[in-house]
Structure 1
Amino acid sequence: MFLPQGPKTPPLVQLLQWIANPFALMESCAQRYGDWFTLKVGLNYRPLVYVSSPQLLQEILTNDHYKQFDAPGEINGIFAPLLGDFGVIMQSGDRHRRQRQLMVPPFHGDRMKAYGEIITEIAKQVTSQWNPNQPFSVRDSMQAISFNVILQAVFGLREGERYRQIEKLLYNMLELTNSPLKASLLFFPFLQRDLGAWSPWGNFLRQKQQLDRLLHAEIEARRANPDPGRTDILSLLMAARDEAGEPMKDEELRDELMTLLVAGHETTATALTWALYWIHKLPEVRQKLLAELDILGDTPDQNAIVRLPYLNAICSETLRIYPVGMLTFPRVVRSPVTLLGQQLEPGTVLVGSIYLAHQRQDLYPEPKQFKPERFLERQFSPYEYLPFGGGVRRCIGAAFALFEMKLVLATILSNLELSLANNRPVHPVRRGLVSAPTKVEMVMTGRRIEGDKRDKGEGGDKGDKEAIPATSY
């Protein structure tokens, strides 16, 4: 059976390299082998063919449902310990299509935009706790924002003991896999042994069991006291019916909630952290963004914020340069197919390298440089730019994530003056099954004077960027 070339090192060595520094491994392979190569880093060292050219990605992602390629859920088993067995990620074929049809409506149109006020208010609440001239962890703050958005928008929970317990348990679970060493628990099944509450996997399982009980308790409470007036995503999912008129079962709801909790806040927090870093690392980027935001006045409409071209370009470039999800979900060859003049046999597993596609010199000159202007100068195809994956496995919450990013950034940048706390280099590292920046610390130096006042000369010279002492807003 044909497989593209790849490293000759033992599979265990490849897997350890993939866990420790996936970016370096992918880049070295791309330099040596080109647009596709084989790594033995799957569970049980199953060979995975990594592809990065837009042509290959288009061929795979447009034929991934009952055609030349499958996108089976069972191959995503590495996510099962975190997300469960019944969520959309783990489903295949008709069941996968059913789950997506039930999941998509709450994340689009007016329903999604109804969460705009929640997002803005939470961003203000969290950032009001920043003390002037005191360094703070950007990721911790962005995680607090995104987590509270998820709990309020998805669960409709704003306070109470269940809210606090869910927050604490989920945070603890994610921290158990937040480094390459800890993430090894997910890559090596033989490490997944319950040796008691003090063992890593035993601790993880106990946290998960407690969280499961809380999620099921919330579902049971909603079923016992249905409220058709609720607009949170959990209520909408419970009310949804498939083509046969059937609702989601409790275990399906539980796993979809876990998927939204983990994927919906961890990834957005990472993207926001990167965005704030780049905006304040590059003064010209910040100045252009502030000028664009100031045009909207003191109380900008959320629809106007979402349409801002430079803000959109910043978000797009943030998700390009170091995408949170490094790979697409795997596709499996269904029937013999010819790619790049070579025939691949059924059973061959392919993954799209989102990271390598976004680092292509032919698409993105100086790819390591943060240049939002790329997205103002040209339009990229879904196979050149795919931060949310593609095909039948494209992220359901993509529109919601971008919406949240834009509102949070606009809220923070319009009101507060920030600066990086130090000049330490920041680079991407593995965080569980995704990527994240190394530690980013910032300082809040004051509160911005509203753009319309500056232009009128009230409170400072025209165009002056001075800050006044920060207060809660």
Structure 2
Amino acid sequence: MQLPPGPKVSATIQMLNWVFRPMSYLTECAKNYGDIFALKLQNDLPPLLLVHSPEAIQQILTNDHKELEAPGDLNSIFEYLLGKNSVISLSGKEHQRQRQLIMPPFHGERMRSYAELIENITTNTITKQAKNQPFNIRNVSQEITLQVMMEAVFGIYEGEQAEKLRHLLCEIIEQSSSPWRVAFLYFPKLKEMVGISELWKQQMKKQEEADQLIYQEIRERRENFDPQRTDILTLLMSSRDEEGQPMTDEELRDELMTLLFAGHETTATAISWAFYWIHKLPEVREKLLVELDSLGENPDSNTIFKLPYLTAVCNETLRIYPIAMLTFPRKVKTPISLDGYQLEPGTVIMGSIYLTHRREDIYPQPEKFNPERFLEKQFSPYEFLPFGGGARRCIGLAFAQMEMKLILAKVMKTWSVKLIDTHEVKPQRRGLVTGPNSPINLEIQNLRQPTSVNLETVKV
């Protein structure tokens, strides 16, 4: 089998580039090797193929269980955080079962019931910020989204146990976000080194403490089950598979952690980027405010969700610096032709979301933040895929979109906000996803008055 071209340097050098400067490295490889290239990240493993053309992305995302499979064992890198029963860690029938059990809470009225909760948490959190004092919007966004997770997903509100769990989860998420923590995952022997091994043990200890609290909550909820509760944990406890079986305590724990890691920090990062671009570009801010002010007071959450320009701003935020750089891996089951190459069984392929979103043939001037591109054209699921695609597309997609839009709308309509420093902020690796490479500091100036509405200033 002839592999696509790729860097000629050693696997160690390639891995260091991949861990510490992944986006620059991907961009360089795409420029040098084209639409498909091979990275050799570990000497004892075959090269990893990366693709970023929409045609190749479509082929790998729509081929599940045929020539290609999405095996959970390739996602074992997530197990130390999410467990073996996570929908991310599973494959085949087990993955389908778990996905079917999790899906119902993220649809229709179930979703809309969380809108008021999101808006109230946003108001309470922003109100705590001192006027005319800089604050890191990413920290504040994380506080909002973590509280939303605690209440909407875990169903845990106030109290000593809630505060302890919140504190532990914050520490676990923060520790897992360092590039060095990612290096542990790719180079397991690092965990055995003196000094470094202690850091790993400390992280695992915090994970165990958090798990004890989560299992305690699950046991108490089972013993005093209340079907009237609307939090996602209660709904998951009520779910039954095709054989009438409920989820085990271990499955519940793993899915709660999956929802937390997939829906807390990622959404907070996207919200931070959106505030950055909205306040860095005055014309974007003005168009958005005109659209929001046209709704009057106390607009319905469903109306907010459907706003064209707000949707375009959110989509462009997720395009220009996608939080997830890659699709989940696929492994070749039977010989397949991809982008002109004949691939043999065992070959692992990943789609690069980051590179696809920055193709000039799809997105002219890809470095420019331009929400209008989403008003002028509808992109295919293989051209715009911030939540992945196919059978492994993010389950919480609609929840994350709703949360992002409601938080942005609530803050923008209610307060006058200023970006303190307009210096350029770029993405960098943050654990297994991405985040800003420096703080995005905002300042609440005062409560704002609605502007006079002229919808002609917003292209719809």
> What TM-score bracket applies, with the shorter chain setting the length?
over 0.9
Are the structure 2 counterparts of residues 202 and 40 from structure 1 closer, same or farther at C-alpha, using a change threshold of 3 Å?
Answer: same
Distance 1:50 1:198 in 2: 32
Match of 1:462?
A: none
Match of 1:231?
A: 230
Shift of 1:40: 1.8
Match of 1:8?
A: 8
Distance 2:50 2:82 in 1: 25
Shift of 1:429: 0.6
The secondary structure found in structure 1 opposite 2:383 is coil
> Which TM-score applies when normalising by structure 1?
0.93
| 1:360-413 Cα shifts (integer Å, max 9, x gaps) | 000000001100001000100000000000111000000100000000000000
- Preserved CA contact (<8 Å) 1:298 1:450: no
Match of 1:189?
A: 188
Are the structure 2 counterparts of residues 369 and 46 from structure 1 closer, same or farther at C-alpha, using a change threshold of 3 Å?
Answer: same
Match of 1:31?
A: 31
Dislocated runs of 4+, deviation >6 Å: 194-198
Unpaired runs of 5+ in structure 1?
A: 456-473
Distance 2:89 2:43 in 1: 15
Distance 2:339 2:224 in 1: 58
Counterparts of 1:289-300 in structure 2, within 5 Å, are 289-300=288-299
Distance 1:44 1:141 in 2: 43
Match of 1:400?
A: 399
Match of 1:448?
A: 448
Distance 1:149 1:237 in 2: 17
Distance 2:162 2:93 in 1: 34
Does 2:216 match 1:213? no
Alignment RMSD, CA only?
Answer: 1.5
Are the structure 2 counterparts of residues 437 and 398 from structure 1 closer, same or farther at C-alpha, using a change threshold of 3 Å?
Answer: same
Question: Aligned residues: percent identity?
Answer: 53
Does 2:60 match 1:60? yes
Are the structure 2 counterparts of residues 195 and 102 from structure 1 closer, same or farther at C-alpha, using a change threshold of 3 Å?
Answer: farther
| 1:153-173 Cα shifts (integer Å, max 9, x gaps) | 001111111211111111111
Are the structure 2 counterparts of residues 225 and 133 from structure 1 closer, same or farther at C-alpha, using a change threshold of 3 Å?
Answer: same
Counterparts of 1:153-302 in structure 2, within 5 Å, are 153-193=152-192, 199-302=198-301
Once the two structures are overlaid, the 10-residue window that deviates more, 339-348 or 279-288, is: 339-348
Distance 1:42 1:323 in 2: 26
| 1:48-107 Cα shifts (integer Å, max 9, x gaps) | 10000000011111111x201000001101111111111100111000000000011101
Aligned residues: 452
Match of 1:459?
A: none
Counterpart of 1:340, as a letter, is D
Distance 1:331 1:237 in 2: 28
Counterpart of 1:80, as a letter, is E
Distance 2:171 2:73 in 1: 26
Once the two structures are overlaid, the 10-residue window that deviates more, 1-10 or 192-201, is: 192-201
Shift of 1:308: 0.3
Shift of 1:415: 0.6
Shift of 1:196: 8.8
Shift of 1:199: 1.6
Shift of 1:195: 6.8
Once the two structures are overlaid, the 10-residue window that deviates more, 180-189 or 396-405, is: 180-189
Does 2:87 match 1:98? no
Does 2:435 match 1:436? yes
Counterpart of 2:443, as a letter, is V
Distance 1:6 1:96 in 2: 33
- Preserved CA contact (<8 Å) 2:2 2:342: yes
Distance 1:108 1:173 in 2: 29
The secondary structure found in structure 2 opposite 1:418 is strand
Does 2:170 match 1:151? no
| 1:98-150 Cα shifts (integer Å, max 9, x gaps) | 00000111011110110000000000011001111111011000000000011
Distance 1:221 1:161 in 2: 15
Distance 2:125 2:316 in 1: 25
The secondary structure found in structure 2 opposite 1:286 is helix
Unpaired runs of 5+ in structure 2?
A: 454-460
Once the two structures are overlaid, the 10-residue window that deviates more, 37-46 or 201-210, is: 37-46
Shift of 1:179: 2.7
- Preserved CA contact (<8 Å) 2:11 2:43: no
The secondary structure found in structure 2 opposite 1:375 is helix
Match of 2:370?
A: 371
Match of 1:113?
A: 112
Distance 1:376 1:322 in 2: 19
Match of 2:323?
A: 324
Distance 1:81 1:428 in 2: 25
- Preserved CA contact (<8 Å) 1:69 1:335: yes
- Preserved CA contact (<8 Å) 1:197 1:206: no
Once the two structures are overlaid, the 10-residue window that deviates more, 322-331 or 2-11, is: 2-11
The secondary structure found in structure 2 opposite 1:192 is helix
Once the two structures are overlaid, the 10-residue window that deviates more, 183-192 or 144-153, is: 183-192
Are the structure 2 counterparts of residues 182 and 93 from structure 1 closer, same or farther at C-alpha, using a change threshold of 3 Å?
Answer: closer
Counterpart of 1:60, as a letter, is I
| 1:196-223 Cα shifts (integer Å, max 9, x gaps) | 9982101111000001101100110111
